[in-house]
A and B are shown apart, each in its own frame.
Chain A
Amino acid sequence: MTARIFAYIEHKDSLADDSAAEFLSAAKKIDVAASPTAVVAGSGAGLDAVCTSLLGSYAEVWKVGNEALAYPNAELVRQALVAILPGGSILLVPHDHFGIDLSPGLSIKTNSAFVPDVVGIDGAEGSYLKLVRQEFGGQVSAHVRCDISYGAILNIRPGAFKAQEAAVSGSIVDKSPLVGTLTAKRRFLEKIAVDGGGIDISKEPVLVSIGRGIQEKDNVGIAQELADAMGAVVSCSRPVVDAKWLEKSRQVGSSGKIVKPKVYLACGISGSFQHLAGIKGNPFLVAINKNPKAPIFQVADIGIVDDILEFLPELTNQIRETCCVPSGK
């Protein structure tokens, strides 16, 4: 195993993304002896701060400074990486809105293999890596064999590998002079935050969350009635927003809000990793789903196999009866 391993470090507000620590353990699964090199692209003082913050965990930090990289436009970052990465390298990138934008095209330009959304690494055998992915929304997993003779770009699922500490005393290598002038046919204009509409689900302690299992817009009221009876708020998974049954501000997940409730009722939600990535703080998680094989049952504390359209109204009635009457009547 001789391929050099690089970790692409995302950062925001001068802080490295959590994936920076996760890539240390992912690299060890490729090669126990690996000492991966961090690659950080950006500009100005923020870039320097991120590079410095990585010196305790990465033995070498490659700094790629360029004014054009002040915002991480994937097309510009790709040009910079093509300029600096040695042939045959393995590059780890977070499988998120940036990695999805960057890596497929980067793999073409570096003539290396690309494996998206990697959740496990079973190690190397000669010039092959054995990796684990998921398909069909996590219903089944797959072993994937990847030829790394010409290097590889591996998009790693955020959270799939344990964050690891390393005790090194690293150094920064400035690769900026190799980059040259960057120009793109796609230009970043602005970022627009989602409108919360008065309710902030990220601050609510109890959420009644609905998914595709709610089936139609008229049924959203069933969840709202339960939430009202519980003193909770209704949130949802992506398909409910796609169908325009609820506002975007109610969506829990990596492309929605990150929530930290005490109690989370997942109703008719299958439990895709994008949805689960939005649930933090280890809440008491109750899953109600008519499919006993729904992935949500793997992560829930309590599971109920039932049709939410029948179960939720009965639950609402029972809560109204037992909880609204003063105890000890």
Chain B
Amino acid sequence: MEILVCAKRVPDTSENEIELNASGNDIERDDVVYSVNEADNYAVEEALQIVAREGGHVTVVTVGSEEDEEVLRREMAMGANQAVLLSDEAFTGSDGKGIATILKAYVTKNHFDLILTGVQAEDGAAQVGGMLAALLDYPYASLVNSIEVVDAKKLKVSREIEGGSKEVNEIDLPCVLSIQTGINEPRYVGMRGIRQVASVEIPTLGPAELGVDAGTVGEAGAKVKRVDYFVPEAGKGAEILQGKREEIIAKLIELMKAKGGLK
């Protein structure tokens, strides 16, 4: 099975506090630690496990700039066979549909049976996979938390729905799936693995190679634009208990007794 995984490099929220920059038009990006989007790691791991069972190859793709090569290398260190960077100034400012349009162009120039994305990235949009599927006229399932290959033409996938229940579906190949976190345990990538792929050539493709009309992507093609970031006016918020830890604990116990949390 030929599998494509779409990945994204994002500011790592477990390593950074996200704050606004001085002019409020972006987050403060100096000294921010970037990582591969968490859900995308699960998608790559799932692809590797399917290929280990069924045979085939895993390709990882991202739309971005040179700096994004590091996440492609990381996913290659996990075991992906090859990686591709789709990059050009004309791609800057793309909305979800723009990114999906660029990815579609890459997909149609190649052959993939299965395309995976992470369920969502740092912007919480959860949109590119579903858009890509619709552009390709492939079926789509979001929030996928298990994949079973039935035969060369279809998969059995379950989706995570309300209350943690699973919705089981049969889906024809080729298809696009967005992978929910927790579907597997992504393997550890050590420094040694990273070093082994450090000098692998990663091809970069732009609008000409992909056959993308620059007017349909980037800033020019975007119907949806982020104007600014802001921090909403804080509500009343919590009463923060101050003092030494023993004092805080004594106060907390008193409060919990009053509220029925302690007998």
Decide whether A and B are members of one complex. Answer: yes
Q: A residues engaging B (CB < 8 A)?
A: 73-75, 96-98, 100-101, 103-109, 113-117, 130, 133-137, 139-147, 150, 184-194, 205-206, 212, 230-232, 238-239, 241-244, 248-249, 251, 254-258, 262-263, 265, 284-287, 291-293, 297-306, 310-311, 314-315, 318-319, 322-323
Q: Is there an interface contact between B224 and A101, defined as CB atoms closer than 8 Å? A: no
A314, B249: Cβ atoms under 8 Å? yes
Known A108-B97, A117-B124, A140-B18: A303·B168 in contact at CB below 8 Å: no
How far apart are B71's CB and chain A's nearest CB, in angstroms? 18
Known: A133-B123, A304-B252; 17 extra A-B contacts, CB below 8 A, are A96-B162, A101-B140, A105-B140, A109-B134, A113-B223, A116-B124, A140-B231, A191-B161, A194-B163, A265-B261, A286-B256, A301-B239, A302-B241, A311-B249, A323-B253, A323-B262, A323-B263
B125 lies within 8 A of A187 (CB) = no
CB distance from A156 to the nearest CB of B (A): 13
- Chain A residue numbers with a CB within 8 Å of B227 are 130, 142-145
Q: Which of B9-17, B53-61, B189-197 contacts A (4 or more CB under 8 A)?
A: B9-17
Closest residue on chain A to residue B235 by CB atoms: A298
Bound-state Cα–Cα, A314 to B246, Å = 8
- A100–B130 alpha-carbon span in the complex (Å): 8
Our pick among A109, A140, A285 for the contact of B20 (Cβ within 8 Å) is: A140
Q: Are B167 and A114 in contact (CB under 8 A)?
A: no
Residues of B within 8 A of A301 (CB): 238-239
The answer on a CB contact under 8 Å between A244 and B249 is: no
Tell me which of B44-52, B108-116, B152-160 binds A. Answer: B152-160
Q: Which B residues touch A298, using CB under 8 A?
A: 234-235, 237-238
Q: Is the interface of A mostly helix, strand, loop or mixed?
A: mixed
Tell me the number of A-to-B contacts counted with CB atoms below 8 Å: 262
Partner of A104, one of B27, B134, B158, B228: B134
Chain A residue numbers with a CB within 8 Å of B248 are 304, 306
The complex places the Cα of A140 from the Cα of B126 at a distance, in Å, of 17
Are B160 and A105 touching (Cβ within 8 A)? no
Known: A100-B143, A104-B96, A137-B13. Contact between A244 and B224, CB under 8 A?
Answer: no
Q: How far is the CB of A259 from chain B (nearest CB, A)?
A: 12
- Residue of B126, B169, B228 near A187 (CB, 8 A) is B169
| Contact among B17, B228, B246 for A143, CB-based, below 8 A | B228
Some 6 contacts from A to B, beta carbons below 8 A apart, are A108-B135, A186-B175, A242-B182, A255-B161, A300-B237, A323-B263
CA distance A303 to B229 in the complex (A): 26
**B249, A113: Cβ atoms closer than 8 Å:** no
Give per-residue flags for B145-181: 1 if the beta carbon is below 8 A from chain A beta carbons, else 0.
0000000000010111111111111111001001001
Q: Residues of B contacting A190 with CB < 8 Å?
A: 167-168
Residue in B closest to A75 when the chains form the complex, CB atoms: B139
A319 to B162, CA, bound (A): 36
Q: Does B204 make an interface contact (CB < 8 A)?
A: no
Contact B253 A185 (CB under 8 A): no
A157 to chain B, nearest CB (A): 10
Could you tell me the distance between the alpha carbons of A175 and B134 in the complex, rounded to whole angstroms? 24
Q: Are A193 and B163 in contact (CB under 8 A)?
A: yes
A136 touches B18 (CB 8 A): yes
Residues of B within 8 A of A74 (CB): 140
**Residues of A contacting B249 in the complex (Cβ-Cβ under 8 angstroms):** 311, 314-315, 318
A residues in contact with B13, CB < 8 Å: 136-137, 139
A140-B231, A141-B230, A244-B185 are known contacts. Are A185 and B124 too (CB-CB below 8 A)? no
